[in-house]
Amino acid sequence: MADDRPTRLLAELARAGSGAELMLVTSLVNVRYLTGFTGSNGAAIVGPDTRVFLTDFRYVEQAAAEVDPSFDRQIISGDVFEEAASRLPGGELRLGFEDGAVTVRDHSRLADRLPGRVELVAAGTPVEALRAVKEPEEVQRIAAACELGDAALRELMEAGLAGRTEAAVALALEDAMRRRGASGASFETIVAAGAHGALPHATPRDVEIPAGTLVVIDWGAVLDGYCSDCTRTLATGELTDAAKVTYDLVREAQLAGVDAIGPGVGGRAADGAARSVIEAAGHGDHFGHSLGHGVGLEVHERPRLSHRSSDTLVAGNVVSCEPGVYLPGELGVRIEDLCVVTPSGCEILTHVPKELLTVG
C-alpha cells in the first residue's frame, strides 16, 4: 500500500503545487487506473485519509469484484458530481478536480453543493502524470497487445493486399485482432494506398489497392484494457525509385528516433533526432506531425515527443516513434514502433520487420 497508485497520486498532487489536498477523479480511465473499476459510471475521491469510490446500483457486483479494497465503495443514486459533495471528510479542505476533463456544467453541479469550508481547485491532470510511467505489469500488458497486433498484421500480409479495398483490409485486420482476443481496435484502423497515404489520418476507402504501390497501415489492439499502436508501410510490388528513396529516408529517421529515445532525453530532443534526418533530405515540410506519444490505457497519452514538448523521458514511459513523409498527390510513408524506455535506452515492443516488405 505504501507505494500504491492512490498514494502516488497524493505525492503527485503535492509536487504539482495546485494546493489541492484531496482529488476528485471523474475521468473513467483515471478511475480505472486508481481503483481497478472498468464500468461506465464511477468516481474516486482520494485524500490523505480518504479513499472513496462512487458508482450506481448497476455496478454493485462489478465494483465489489474490481475495486481495490482500500476504497470505501459507496452506491449513489444521483450524478457523481452532485453526490461527491456530500461524501467529503470534515474540516476546511481544498478539493482538486480534473480541469482537463470536467465540463463547465459538472463543475457547477459540484460547486453548487459544496459546503463553504471546501475550496474547489483546478488540479490539472495528476493521474495522467502517474499513468505516463508504467509499472512492469502494465508494460507486459502493452507488450502483449503489441504481439497480438503483430500477429494480426502477419495474417493480413499472408492474404495479400492488391485487389482488395482499403476498407476490406482494415476490416480484416480488425477481425484478426478480435479473433486473437482483442476487445477491439485502439483507434480507427488506417489503410491508405498510393496518394491516399499522403493523408496522415486517412480513412479507408472502398477503393481497390493497386499493385506496385505503397500502403500505409496504422493499427492497434486493445487487450486487457491496454492499447498497442504500430504503423508499417508495405509495398504491393515493384516500386518507383522515388518511392523506395522515400521509404529508406523514413526508415533512417525512425531508427534515429529509436536510437535517441532513453531516460533523461527531452521529448523535443527525441523528435529532433528523427526530424533532422528528414529535414536534411529536404522533406521537413512533408513531416507535419510530431514524432510520438505515450500509449497505455489510452492510445494517446503522456509523454509527448514533439518540437513543442516539455516532457523528459523516464524509464517506464511507453512511447511511439512514428516519423512520416507525405508527398501530396504521390505517396506517404510512415513507420511506427512502440518503445518502452528502460534505464539504459529503450526496448521496442512491436516486432514486424521494418525493411521494405513486399506483399502481393
* Chain residues in the site for Zn ion (CB under 5 A): 218, 229, 231, 320, 336
Least distance (Å) between residue 267 CB and Zn ion? 14
Give the nearest distance from C-beta 293 to Zn ion in angstroms. 6
Nearer to Zn ion, 43 or 217 (CB): 217
CB of 188 to Zn ion, least distance (A): 11
Cell digits for 13? 498532487
Cβ distance to Zn ion smaller for residue 218 or 298:
218
Choice between 95 and 255, CB closer to Zn ion:
255
Which one, 56 or 218, has the nearer CB to Zn ion?
218
Nearer to Zn ion, 229 or 271 (CB): 229
Q: Minimum distance from CB of 229 to Zn ion (Å)?
A: 4
Residue closer to Zn ion (CB basis): 35 or 254: 254
Residue 39, judged by CB atoms within 10 A of its CB (0-12, 13-18, 19+), counts as middle
- What's the Cα-to-Cα distance from 313 to each of 83, 220, 301, 346, 348, rounded to whole Å? 38, 23, 13, 10, 15
Q: How far is CA 80 from CA 27, 37, 157, in A?
A: 11, 15, 47
∠ Cα 58 98 185 (to 5°):
60
Q: How far is the CB of 28 from Zn ion (least distance, A)?
A: 22
Tell me which residue of 118, 5, 111 sits closest to 53, measured CA to CA. 5
Taking the least distance from each CB to Zn ion, the nearer of 25 and 297 is 297
95 vs 299, which CB is nearer to Zn ion?
299
What are the Cα distances from residue 156, in Å, to 27, 168, 198?
36, 11, 22
Question: Least distance (Å) from Zn ion to the CB of residue 217?
Answer: 9
Q: Which SS3 state, helix, strand or coil, does residue 120 take?
A: strand
Give the phi and the psi of residue 91 in degrees, each rounded to 5. Answer: 85, 175
The DSSP string of 259-317 is HH-STT-BHHHHHHHHHHHHHHTT-GGG--S-SEEE-SSSSSEEEEESTT---B--TT-
| Closest to 16 in 3D by CA, of 163, 121, 171 | 121
Closest distance between Zn ion and the C-beta of residue 190, in Å? 7
Nearest approach in angstroms of CB 113 to Zn ion is: 40
Residue 32 phi, psi dihedral angles, 5° rounding? -60, -45
Per-position DSSP letters for 29-54, written without gaps between them = HHHHHHH---SSSEEEEEETTEEEEE
Burial group, residue 195, by CB count within 10 angstroms (0-12, 13-18, 19+) = middle
